Structure 1
Amino acid sequence: MENINLGLACLGIGIASLGGALGIGKLAAGAFEAMARQPEQSNAIRGSMIIAIAFVEASVLYSLIIAFIVITK
């Protein structure tokens, strides 16, 4: 049973990190495109991008914490 929990936890964190990486990549691409279109708004766009990246990273970190909890039980 422990091996199954370990495997599922690893699979879960792998999927979560893949989703987070793809989300951050898409977010950054959109922000850079917006900065290229409106250079005068680049500071506001950059700030919004950083906040959005923090939210995406938080969800990945939550899944990492859940994976550690599953592994240790």
Structure 2
Amino acid sequence: MHLLTVLMEAVASLVPYAKMGAGLGAGIAAVGAGIGIGQIGRGAVEAIARQPEAVGDIRSNMIVSAALIEGVAFGAIVVCLLILFV
């Protein structure tokens, strides 16, 4: 029983660090998503410049890729917010 009390006190003392980590994680997820979508846009513009006739296929693939990146980033931000507020 004494070990459980010590562990609970240790966890309670680390709560501010967990909240700080959750905030940093949410920020990193947002920045990572922005960088990823920027890379997708750059690649799409370069591909359209090389093959203008394939603009429809390139655009649809770009939208699907951007949506997947946004989904992962949104999931990471939700997890960080859950850590922050729960």
For 1:49 and 1:40, how far apart are their aligned partners in 2? 16
Are positions 1:24 and 2:62 aligned together? no
5+ residue gaps in structure 1?
none
For 2:38 and 2:81, how far apart are their aligned partners in 1? 26
> What is the root-mean-square deviation of aligned Cα atoms in Å?
1.0
Deviations 1:6-63 (A, max 9, x none): 2111100111111111111111100010001111100110000000000000011001
Aligned partner of 1:70: which letter? Answer: I
With normalisation by structure 2, the TM-score equals: 0.79
Give the aligned length.
73
Point out 4+ residue stretches in structure 1 off by more than 3 angstroms: none
Which fold has the larger relative contact order, with Cα–Cα distance below 8 Å and residues 6 or more apart in sequence?
Answer: 1
With normalisation by structure 1, the TM-score equals: 0.92
Aligned partner of 1:65: which letter? Answer: V
State percent identity of aligned pairs.
Answer: 34
